[in-house]
Amino acid sequence: MVEVLHRYATVRGQRVFYREAGAHEAPTLVLLHGFPSSSRMFRNLIPELADRFHVIAPDHLGFGNSDAPSVDAFTYTFDALTDITEALLAQLGIARYALYVQDYGAPVGWRLALRTPDAITAVITQSGNAYEDGFVPEFWKPVRAYWENPGPQTEPGVRSALSLDAIRWQYLHGVDRPELVDPDTWAADHRDVNRPGNDLVQLALFRDYAGNPPLYPQVQAYFRERQVPLLAVWGDGDEIFGPDGARAFTRDLPDAEIHLVPGGGHFLLESHLDTVAGHVRAFLTTTGSPA
């Protein structure tokens, strides 16, 4: 039985929760979660990888078991979330690692790669975009409206993403066997993002997400220059970041490995864990990464 440790670290005055498993001398794999989840989304994947890798999966501030300071006490931006993650990895003595990113984890991961490109040995992306391709218009229309004109007219369109129905939809849409998805997932996420004051945290991050697509040209230039090994494993039914977002990586990384998993949605690990774990293990073995 693989031991998964549940730890806290104080990073820049904030208490950050992270899951850790595997031998410290093994190559490190850093897992970065998406909205509205936490490192909880990796709870079943971590034991599948910890026999060969040292796995670290933190909760971003405002999510899961990490601190969720008010918007008056902390400026919530993706730059700031990256600062915390970077500082945590430094405290843990992690200088080289492979990245696994999903959703919100992608803009944090891309910033880490741009800041310290030599640190990144490989990238696995699960519904983590680095291109405009694949943004499903129906989902993103109210978000883009909020970017362009944040205020009382556009806020209801994004605030609705914090509702139980919307979070349940994130887990179940596009999934061919929804009975495999544990209802505790959306119940826990709904509870966490609706803690007192956390709605304002999430609205701040919705607004700041507008700064992520303009960063994509720099990320794409990083891909072209570094030719970092990359695996995109994506649910083919994802209606947030569609399959074109996965295919786009081959534009700058011709050797990128792309897998579109039939019957999978946005939270692919909930319904297709074995498939994803198999692809990840094979990819990291083939590339020799992390190293």
Confidence category of residue 291, pLDDT binned at 50, 70, 90: very low
Sheet containing strand 28-32, edge to edge, reads 4-11, 14-21, 54-58, 28-32, 97-102, 120-126, 230-235, 257-261
Instruction: Look at the chain and count its residues.
Output: 291
Which of 60, 266, 272, 279 does the annotation list as catalytic? 266
Task: Please give the pLDDT value at position 131.
Answer: 98
- Are 210 and 147 in contact by the 8 Å Cβ rule? The answer is yes
The predicted-structure confidence for 35-84, as pLDDT tens digits, reads as follows: 999 999 999 999 999 999 999 999 999 999 999 999 999 999 999 999 99
Task: Please give the pLDDT value at position 288.
Answer: 63
Active site residue 272: no
What is the rounded CA–CA span in Å between residue 141 and residue 225? 33
User: Which two structure tokens, joined as six digits, stand for 235?
Assistant: 């649910």
Confidence category of residue 2, pLDDT binned at 50, 70, 90: confident
Residue scoring higher pLDDT (287 or 171): 171
